[in-house]
Structure 1
Amino acid sequence: MNKKLTATLVMTSLLASVFTLQAGAANDKQVLKDEKGSVHTVTGSLGKVGGGSAEARAFAALDKVKADFGFDSAAANFKIKKSHKDENGTAHTKLDRVIDGIPVFGEQLIVHELDGDVQGVTGTFEKLSKGASKASVKEKDAVQGAIAHTGFTGELSEAPTTTLVYYPQNGKAVLSYQVDVRYNAPDAAGNWQIFIDAVSGNVVDAINKIDFAKPGGGGGGGGGGTGATGTGTGVNGDRKSINTSLVNGSYVLEDTTKHMFQTNGSKIVTLDYRNGTSTQYAVTDADNVFDASTQRAAVDAHYYAGATYDYYYNQLGRNSINGSGSEIKSGVRYYSGYNNAFWDGRQMTYGDGDGVNFKAFSGALDVVAHELTHGVTDYTSGLVYRDQSGALNESWSDAFGAVLDSGDWLLGEDITLPGYGAKAFRSMSDPNTYGDPDHMNEYVNTSSDNGGVHTNSGIPNKAFYNFATAIGSRSIAGKVWYTASRDYMTSRTNFSGARAATLQATAALYGSNSSTYTALQSAWSAVGVN
């Protein structure tokens, strides 16, 4: 799959977390830095804080580490985003960085605190010189400029949205409109975050957040039905039992059997683009036996979405993508001969493949789990889809694909055809086989593919493989990865920060003196992330 990107290999030294022990301190405080010297974690017994809520205690905790991260006042630089308690009762409170009340894109800190005992703070704080304080460009002009930048001239999927933010760029905080632009198109889909300088109107940066299964691009669900159990034939000819609903005399692919439906009426819904790119149609059947050739992609998308939901709910206690029982929506048969699958921020979408290189992309459990996990990541860490954080975004999706489809360490092997010339998209056990690095000394510096997010994912992929095989459990490894994403990672977490986050998650789940913790340390060190 990955054709090796032409790029300059960088990183003259291995990525390392620098542990600076506080000399003479009465606690076990550690300050962890990445290879560039930026602090990403302060951990240890950091002392007691008071306050009547986790949010109040979080601000007090930040003031304990302000010198380490480099800010002068917690209250002046942060605002609460959300807080939750984990299974041990530890509160994880995420705070967004602000300048004069305006959010700084991609910068958060998370305070970890148990009954007033501060256990650590993770995240990023970059020293920035503030630019303009007031926008002079009109919002509608920023939207027009953002749409023009995409090059798309068709009808958008929904109206663009705008948010005024400060965008970190070269040590400056650039006042910008963040314009979110969404569309579907035959050649590529768009889920853009485009940053327009609010003073000059120039494009500051642009990120297409469409989370593809592999590099390159290549209607509603109804309601009020009666639950039923049907059967269907999948992409690879296998028979499956599927949860359906009877609506207006026809069976449709709506699953009302999950806890999400019991709590707030949400369903798993699978629709059909019918080889278009805009309208989606219900997949219907008169006798509840979905065995037509045009139904096979839908059968697999529906069944595997249910299996992935069950894993997250039964094994990790997560109720759907947003954690609160949101609808899970899939669209199949996108365009004609489309060789990819993607998460667009709202739903999963699957192409049928061209019949030469690929079968329908929903025919692989690991692909479906991969795409749904992109949605989960949106609601947990929110990893920015660029450079190392983007590679982690891809890698975390690959990891859960491998947890659910546990027969091998490949991604996409169930849908590749001889024309593709390879057995799968990627390998977690041997990333080099598919042209991906498995060690930091092979890290690829490139502007392609949002900074090589699919390529450089090979490094954390190999770390996950090392860890899971060392402890003999993909399930435990998956639980650690999920806990890290939920509780210890922010939107700009890099590889060094991911090592620290997964170790903190392991310590919370199994103890820092456990063999599991030691195995994880070795797993990351083996790929050059120390």
Structure 2
Amino acid sequence: MNKKLVATLVLSSVAASVFAVNAGAASDKQVLKDDKGAVHNVVGKLGKVTGATVEERAFNALDKVKGDLGFTNAKDNFKFKKSHKDENGTTHTKLAQTINGIPVYASEVIVHEANGDVVGVTGGFQTLSADATAASVSDAAAVKAAVAETGYTGDLSRPSKAELMFLPQGDKAALAYKVNVNYIAEAPGNWTVFVSAVDGSILEATNHVHAGTGTGVLGDVKTIQTTLTSGQYYLEDRSKYMYTQKGSTIKTYTFNGGTSSQYYMTDADNNYNASNQRAGVDAHYYAGKVYDYYYSSLGRNSYDGAGKTIISGVNYSSRYNNAFWEGTQMVYGDGDGSTFIALSGAYDVVAHELTHAVTEYESGLIYQNQSGALNESWSDAMASVMDSGDWLIGEDVYTPGVSGDALRSMSNPAAYGQPAHMNSYVNTSSDNGGVHTNSGIPNKAFYNFATAIGSRTIAGKIWYTANRDYMTSSTNFAGARAATLQATAALYGSTSSYYTALKTAWSNVGVN
């Protein structure tokens, strides 16, 4: 968000009062609640479970905490989604809340099981009254209504699909179709639209295109990986493990100043030194660096964890002051030369945006309010881990005529209009509930922690593990504190100095 706009927001205080977290360390069960009294974690030694499959054991585990979460029977209220075993042998099984077998949007739990012992349950349960038991509107009609709601009339970048689920609305649950609408022509869009399955009305619509930050193209010479085909070199990197594994590559295209079509960026002598090629060179190079960091340091094979091809498109539109994850690829503008210079030249731009893609495939943090601020903050945090020369975000690309400024500061969020403590939390309906503003609070917590332990790498590993294993799509700030503590306990132990430092880091921003 532009710092001038941030400064106009009215700050208001929010009291944060939660139970003390000792995630993963207690011998007795603890029920953790957020400042509104909602349960977000049950931790401790919760007992043994049996079962032939992880799904069966997860259901048995949930029945152990049904009184705490407020349901009567796990199998009647949850559906298995996926399971993952971490490096320590702990299995993390994610289940979605359901009503009559239909999933409830953004209501999930994660069961943590170690060799038959239940060591925690992340997430909560919502008691909801459904407005219908079956859809009266077709999925095709829902897609048509969703696309119409966005106002876009061109070709979509991928076909829209309708997924039936219940959308919580207070203590009610509206039967709805969740429809994604994605396009990159004209103004970019990565929409999630909820269409009532009862009467076809629009219940909610959010554009998830993420604003980017980064450096411009500075003229530095880089070694890039290309592919020779029919006498021309293409910006296609086949050097990564994902190519050996399944033929996936890193590909970079150009929009040539347009918004609807992408073209190969080729070169006859494999020396991409023309001025109109520089944005592509940096987008390509930094995408490779981000892949390498996630793979080498965190064992993650591309943003989906399974080796998916990474696509970037540069030279988007004219004087376009943004970069974003579209839902299938990265897109970069060249800037207007005043507010921004070409955004694809920055390591932290690419790291930030591709971390949005990682988050989409893991916790799936909803891009609204506190979960949306966490989505932004996690991208800033991982960008600061990979591009570790300072604690600023966007300092080299933002307002090139003004030296020393930035979009955001991890160490001093207030310098650019962000709160650094819960007593300055911004309540607003703009920017999806202030996702680019209130991200300053978890950003400061990350900075506090990383500097206290003297390692961005360790802090980043904990943040990544929390995103992967201990956070759900609706995790809020209190839940993020618990998630990072659980990740720290899993990786380094609950008696470690890291665990103590992390508790202090969160407490110092008012999240307890």
Q: Give the TM interval when normalised to the shorter protein.
A: over 0.9
Structure 2 counterpart of 1:127, one-letter code: T
Aligned counterpart, 1:16: 17
Aligned counterpart, 2:160: 160
Q: Residue 424 in 1 paired to residue 424 in 2? A: no
1:12 Cα offset (Å): 3.8
Structure 2 counterpart of 1:316, one-letter code: L
Q: Write the distance in 2 (CA, Å) between the matches of 1:202 and 1:161.
A: 17
Aligned counterpart, 2:209: 210
* Mapped contact 2:94–2:108 kept (Cα < 8 A): yes
Mapping of 1:367-386 within 5 angstroms? 367-386=349-368
The alpha-carbon distance between structure 1 residues 60 and 340, as it changes in their structure 2 partners (threshold 3 A), is same
Aligned counterpart, 1:225: none
Structure 1 consecutive aligned stretches of length 4 or more whose deviation exceeds 6 Å: none
Aligned counterpart, 2:262: 280
The alpha-carbon distance between structure 1 residues 304 and 39, as it changes in their structure 2 partners (threshold 3 A), is same
Q: Write the distance in 1 (CA, Å) between the matches of 2:278 and 2:411.
A: 30
Q: Residue 178 in 1 paired to residue 178 in 2? A: yes
* Mapped contact 2:182–2:327 kept (Cα < 8 A): no
Structure 2 counterpart of 1:4, one-letter code: V
The alpha-carbon distance between structure 1 residues 422 and 131, as it changes in their structure 2 partners (threshold 3 A), is farther
Q: Write the distance in 2 (CA, Å) between the matches of 1:354 and 1:8.
A: 29
Unaligned runs of 5+ in 1: 215-233
- How many residues are treated as equivalent by the alignment? 505
Identity of aligned residues (%): 63
* Mapped contact 1:256–1:266 kept (Cα < 8 A): yes
Mapping of 1:393-432 within 5 angstroms? 393-418=375-400, 423-432=405-414
* Mapped contact 1:271–1:331 kept (Cα < 8 A): yes
Structure 2 counterpart of 1:504, one-letter code: Q
Write the deviation string for residues 376-427 of structure 1: whole angstroms up to 9, x where unpaired: 1111111111111110000000001101110101111222234578722111
Q: Write the distance in 1 (CA, Å) between the matches of 2:102 and 2:402.
A: 48
* Mapped contact 1:175–1:197 kept (Cα < 8 A): yes
Write the deviation string for residues 100-157 of structure 1: whole angstroms up to 9, x where unpaired: 1111111110000011100000013111111111222233332232222212233322
Aligned counterpart, 1:326: 308
Report the secondary structure of 1:96's partner residue.
strand
The alpha-carbon distance between structure 1 residues 31 and 127, as it changes in their structure 2 partners (threshold 3 A), is same
Q: Write the distance in 2 (CA, Å) between the matches of 1:7 and 1:98.
A: 38
Write the deviation string for residues 270-320 of structure 1: whole angstroms up to 9, x where unpaired: 111111111111110111111100110011001111111110011001111
Q: Write the distance in 2 (CA, Å) between the matches of 1:417 and 1:8.
A: 24
Q: Write the distance in 1 (CA, Å) between the matches of 2:84 and 2:286.
A: 29
* Mapped contact 2:79–2:97 kept (Cα < 8 A): yes
Aligned counterpart, 1:32: 32
> Which is worse superposed, 202-211 or 507-516?
202-211
* RMSD between aligned residues: 1.6
Structure 2 counterpart of 1:350, one-letter code: Y
Structure 2 counterpart of 1:198, one-letter code: A
Q: Residue 257 in 1 paired to residue 239 in 2? A: yes
Aligned counterpart, 2:251: 269
Unaligned runs of 5+ in 2: none
* Mapped contact 1:6–1:446 kept (Cα < 8 A): no
Report the secondary structure of 2:411's partner residue.
coil
1:481 Cα offset (Å): 0.2
Q: Write the distance in 1 (CA, Å) between the matches of 2:411 and 2:166.
A: 40
Q: Write the distance in 1 (CA, Å) between the matches of 2:235 and 2:443.
A: 33
Structure 2 counterpart of 1:339, one-letter code: N
Aligned counterpart in structure 2 of residue 317 of structure 1, from 267, 278, 299: 299
Report the secondary structure of 1:499's partner residue.
helix
Q: Residue 304 in 1 paired to residue 286 in 2? A: yes
Q: Residue 340 in 1 paired to residue 341 in 2? A: no
Q: Residue 444 in 1 paired to residue 443 in 2? A: no
Aligned counterpart in structure 2 of residue 516 of structure 1, from 498, 503, 512: 498
Q: Residue 197 in 1 paired to residue 196 in 2? A: yes
The alpha-carbon distance between structure 1 residues 197 and 44, as it changes in their structure 2 partners (threshold 3 A), is same
Report the secondary structure of 1:413's partner residue.
coil
Aligned counterpart, 2:128: 128
Q: Write the distance in 1 (CA, Å) between the matches of 2:84 and 2:179.
A: 29
Structure 2 counterpart of 1:180, one-letter code: N
* Mapped contact 2:70–2:127 kept (Cα < 8 A): yes
Aligned counterpart, 1:433: 415
The alpha-carbon distance between structure 1 residues 5 and 491, as it changes in their structure 2 partners (threshold 3 A), is farther
TM-score by length of 2: 0.96
Aligned counterpart, 1:90: 90
Report the secondary structure of 1:211's partner residue.
coil
1:27 Cα offset (Å): 4.6
* Mapped contact 2:252–2:283 kept (Cα < 8 A): yes
Q: Write the distance in 2 (CA, Å) between the matches of 1:12 and 1:475.
A: 32
Report the secondary structure of 1:243's partner residue.
coil
Structure 2 counterpart of 1:79, one-letter code: K
The alpha-carbon distance between structure 1 residues 352 and 12, as it changes in their structure 2 partners (threshold 3 A), is closer
Structure 1 counterpart of 2:191, one-letter code: W
Write the deviation string for residues 468-519 of structure 1: whole angstroms up to 9, x where unpaired: 0000000000000000000000000000000000000000111111110011
Structure 2 counterpart of 1:29, one-letter code: K
Write the deviation string for residues 414-451 of structure 1: whole angstroms up to 9, x where unpaired: 22234578722111111111111111111111111111
Write the deviation string for residues 40-62 of structure 1: whole angstroms up to 9, x where unpaired: 00000111111122221111000
Report the secondary structure of 1:524's partner residue.
helix
Q: Write the distance in 1 (CA, Å) between the matches of 2:6 and 2:314.
A: 29
* Mapped contact 2:14–2:424 kept (Cα < 8 A): no
1:179 Cα offset (Å): 1.5
The alpha-carbon distance between structure 1 residues 11 and 170, as it changes in their structure 2 partners (threshold 3 A), is farther
Aligned counterpart, 1:59: 59
Structure 2 counterpart of 1:500, one-letter code: A
The alpha-carbon distance between structure 1 residues 137 and 422, as it changes in their structure 2 partners (threshold 3 A), is farther
1:17 Cα offset (Å): 2.5
* Mapped contact 1:192–1:208 kept (Cα < 8 A): yes
Q: Write the distance in 2 (CA, Å) between the matches of 1:258 and 1:414.
A: 29
